Structure 1
Amino acid sequence: MPWLWYVGPLALLVVWYLTGLRGRHEARRDAELVRWRVLMTPKAASRRSGAQRDTRKTVADIDGPRPVRSMPGSLERMLGDAGGGAVVSRYELVPKLAYVAIVGPDAKNGSEHQVVVAKLAKAAPRLTVCPLPIVDGRRAPNTGVQFKKDPDFMEQFLVEGPEAKPIGRWLSARVRDALRDFPDAWLFVQDRVMAIAVYGPVDAERLQELVVAADAIFAEHGAGGAPSLLFEDSEADEDDEDEDDSEADDEDDEDESDEDEDEDEEAAGAERAVR
């Protein structure tokens, strides 16, 4: 069959092309994850100039959120509510409390997305918050849980769940503000676990914004005293303390100098009185 002479090489060419695309996509994803970890480290602003150089290293060589092989079972299960898929990597934000999962497509889910999953201090009502769908270039009518005192929020997000009043209380002004600041977010809450996700390929800046939004919500409802999900700069804090101490010392020196001047003036006044 002469036609097989053409089909065989063509099939090999297609496989080679698709494999190359996948390899380039994975390389780009890994580079973006490295950039994100650099952005999440202390003094990130001063290190951004070296971010391109850092992307040559492996993900494990970069400071920042630590890659882990697994998460607590309740958090791992929550990934299913956020869309499922094949978990590519996991990063620890706060041990046992909060993690970032990078999820790729699989046979059932064709969407690539990133998720912050975290434990809550108390059981919460089951709810889902997603961007209000756009139909024919216009926002669809909001048929979800109503927030009549916050029309701006209702114009951006659809909130669904079986218990409107508990959901309204849980989605406090602070939580709604965090979602407004990151309008691409999808929020899933069930029992004592939350997941906040963004869909699409990994982008370092957008992934950092996702963690910032999750941090604001976690500060309101998080377990374990709701520690920060962001990597804080302890060295900068120490520098600030040193500056404060230095300023305090300067003030003390000024006070002592003023006291000396006052004593000199009093002595001069007393001497004039004697004369």
Structure 2
Amino acid sequence: MKPPDANPAEVFDPLRPRLLRIAYRMLGIVAEAEDVVQEAYLRWHQTDRAAVRDAEAVLVRTVTRLCLDVLKSARVQREQYVGTWLPEPIVETVEGDDLTLTLMMALERLSPLERAAFLLHDVFGMDFDEVAKAIDRDPAACRQLASRARSHVREARPRFPVSEGQGRELASAFFTASRSGDVNALQALLAQDVVTYSDGGGKTKAALNPIYGAEKTLRLFDGLFLHSGLALSKLVYEGAIDGLPAFVTLEADGVLQTTALAIEEGRIVAIYVTRNPDKLQAIRRAVGEEVS
């Protein structure tokens, strides 16, 4: 890579999308990722850029270390979070990787260093010497960190994933069944061990704990249909959220909501519902013209 120019933005701006992707994958919150990248930009201004041989390596290192600092305090915040914590949903395809919402949830169970080593090496293609510099550990330790993380991700990765087309069809069928009160149609879509996660963050109504099993999930959606006006849901987006078949709705109570589905062997094995308005600003911008 050519040495940095005198103009800091000229080098930084082309790298900003990659730095944002790294920060988002590390933190799971768009606003926090944007703050980290902006802080990295301010530090880049203050850097002796003439002495920098590889600007991208330096900036990735800066962003990674800032993310690790954020994660230290985030652990405490998430322990105090009201209900289930889900990563902030985004509709963009992220760099063509296959790190879906389900796998991001698996990364939440890792230490910050394990998460950083795995993401930088396995997702963003950095060699372990570069990873070692980024997280201030030796390459052998980074290999161990990434290996432990990889085993967690392997366990969470779907064994029999469906095609994009099948995923869209199932998501559409799920929307129709859940919003029409058709319990039989809904039951046919669910795996017996399906889990429903709902993130309201204490800001909107949502189940505080995961709902396990098809029977309880059916009761949940039947109750929501009868008492919460699911039939009045307005569909504003169909597509993918963090790599999963998904849709966005404006619900009867005026809350914007995302629903993403993990699917194996043609059945829904996990339902991720995000209702916390603090986590839906990026979604609102993406589908804003449809929300009224």
* Same topology, TM > 0.5: no
TM bucket, shorter chain: under 0.3
TM-score (norm 1): 0.27
Q: Which has the higher strand share?
A: 1
Give the number of the structure whose residues are more often helix, by fraction.
2
Larger Rg: 1
TM-score where L is the length of structure 2: 0.26
